[in-house]
Amino acid sequence: MRKPTILVTRRMPPAVEARLKRDYDARLNPDDRIYSSEELIAKAAGADGMLICSSDKITPEVVAHLPESVKIIATFSVGYEHIDVMACEARGVIATNTPGVLTDATADIAFLLILAAARRAYEAQTMLRQGQWTGWHTTMLLGIDLAGKRLGIFGMGRIGQAVARRALGFGMEIHYHNRSRLPQELEAGATYHPTLESLLQVSDVLSINAPSTPETRNILNAERIALLPDGAIVVNTARGDMVDDAALIGALRSGKLRAAGLDVFAGEPNLNKEYLSLPNAYLLPHIGSATIETRDRMGFTALDNLDAVLLHGRPAPNRLW
Ligand code: DGY
């Protein structure tokens, strides 16, 4: 029997590529070069499915020009702002993502950012590596305690809840804003805020864990940053386009905000260069889900979706429409 053909747009972890090769006629991308829209369409000729990443923009134009053969687009990511799901639905192309398998890895990085921002890890590391450390001082590189501080979580889905669990262990008080209030057992003592504005006012540390949607784009703008307590910390492990970069940079420069920890940026990898000159910005290159175990799970989950549709004729477990 003919193996279905999959266009794989990025290099995959070895275990994922092995499963792809075993079960599919896989068009791999060993050079890991990001394809243009035209290339995506051309390379998909005759393919039954596509395994893509958040670097691939599946716009309505791309969907409209995909070959008829493509039945499913599986993204190797939980975020799916790069896929026009409505266009997929209109053309009958199934779209899927990988929820639930990168929760802990991403929450760990959120906490790494919270700690790094609160304890001035970038400045400390730079001082030491550049030979500027003259010895122990009572007032050297003072950060702030997390214990007793209020953590505001914007977006209390799986990852937001995992950040909350970690924060409880650090003695923080949890507040959150979400489209809907969680059941009491999931809230685990956290205080619900029906509006983001109300949450911001009590957030000594703000963790952004909401999805990027037309409604949340640029949502953390100058007006909303002004609502945060003076000296607050902002951490983002979700998507960079939810933050107005100029406003955040201005607030980090003026001292309105103490620090930021950012793993995601608008226009990645071309982040706003002004961040690089800010000693109070702790910056990472989108490594929230970058563990061996998690990246394998993401690949296997994407494959489970492809397998369901292309090998077993079943509904995809993580269908987006
Ligand atoms: C995700 O899964 O959304 C990660 O951010 C990788 O894109």
**At 274, is the pLDDT very low, low, confident or very high (cuts 50, 70, 90)?**
very high
Across the range 52-70, mean pLDDT stands at: 98
For residue 1, pLDDT over 90 is answered with no
Nearest ligand 1 atom to the CA of 286 is 5
Which residues are bridge partners to 118 per DSSP?
A: none
Q: Percentage of the chain surpassing pLDDT 90?
A: 100
pLDDT at 252 (0 to 100): 98
Instruction: Give residues with Cβ within 8 angstroms of 146, minimum separation 6.
Output: 114, 115, 118, 167, 170, 171, 172, 205
In the chain, the percentage of residues whose pLDDT exceeds 70 is 100
d(CA 159, CA 173) in angstroms, rounded, equals 17
Q: Cα dihedral sign for 218, 221, 227, 233?
A: positive
Ligand 1 centroid from CA 31, angstroms: 20
| Mean local confidence (pLDDT), 67-92 | 98
**Strands laid side by side in the 49-52 sheet:** 25-27, 5-8, 49-52, 72-75, 94-96
Per-residue pLDDT band at 295 (split at 50, 70, 90): very high
Is 253 among the residues known to form the active site? no
Q: Indicate if 312 belongs to the active site.
A: no
CA of 234 to the centre of ligand 1 (A): 19
Cα distances from 200 to residues 59, 175, 216, 247, 285, in angstroms, run: 33, 9, 15, 15, 26
Atom of ligand 1 nearest to the CA of 76: 2
Task: Indicate the average pLDDT of the chain.
Answer: 98
- Average pLDDT (66-71) is 98
> Residue 321 to residues 47, 72, 109: CA-CA distances in angstroms?
21, 12, 30
Of the pLDDT bands very low, low, confident and very high (cuts 50, 70, 90), residue 2 is: very high
Q: How confident is the model at residue 77 (pLDDT cuts 50, 70, 90)?
A: very high
pLDDT digit string, tens, across residues 229-260? 999 999 999 999 999 999 999 999 999 999 99
Please report the pLDDT score of residue 275 as a whole number. 98
Strand-strand pairing, 25-27 and 5-8: parallel
Q: How far is the CA of 77 from the centre of ligand 1 (A)?
A: 4
123 classed as catalytic: no
Evaluate if residue 263 carries a pLDDT over 90: yes
Mean pLDDT of 117-138: 98
Report which residue type is found at 52: I
Q: Ligand 1: which residues within 6 Å by Cβ?
A: 54, 77-79, 102, 288-289
Q: Which atom of ligand 1 is nearest to the CA of 298?
A: 2
Any idea which residue has 């000594």 for tokens?
204
Single out the catalytic residue among 120, 158, 239, 297.
Answer: 239
Q: Please give the distance, rounded to the nearest whole angstrom, from the Cα atom of residue 255 to the centre of ligand 1.
A: 31
Contact assessment for residue 77 and residue 298, using Cβ atoms and an 8 Å cutoff: yes
Cα 241 to ligand 1 centre (Å): 13
Q: Which of 102, 241, 298, 301 to mutate to test the pocket of ligand 1 (most atoms within 8 A of CB)?
A: 102
Site to substitute for ligand 1 among 77, 96, 104, 291, most atoms within 8 A of C-beta: 77
pLDDT band at 164 (very low <50, low <70, confident <90, very high): very high
Give CA torsion, residues 28, 33, 38, 41, to 10 deg: 20
- Name which residue sits closest to atom 4 of ligand 1, judged by CA: 77
Ligand 1 atom nearest residue 237's Cα: 5
Distances in whole angstroms, Cα of residue 290 to Cα of each of 29, 31, 295? 19, 19, 6
Q: Average pLDDT of 57-82? A: 98
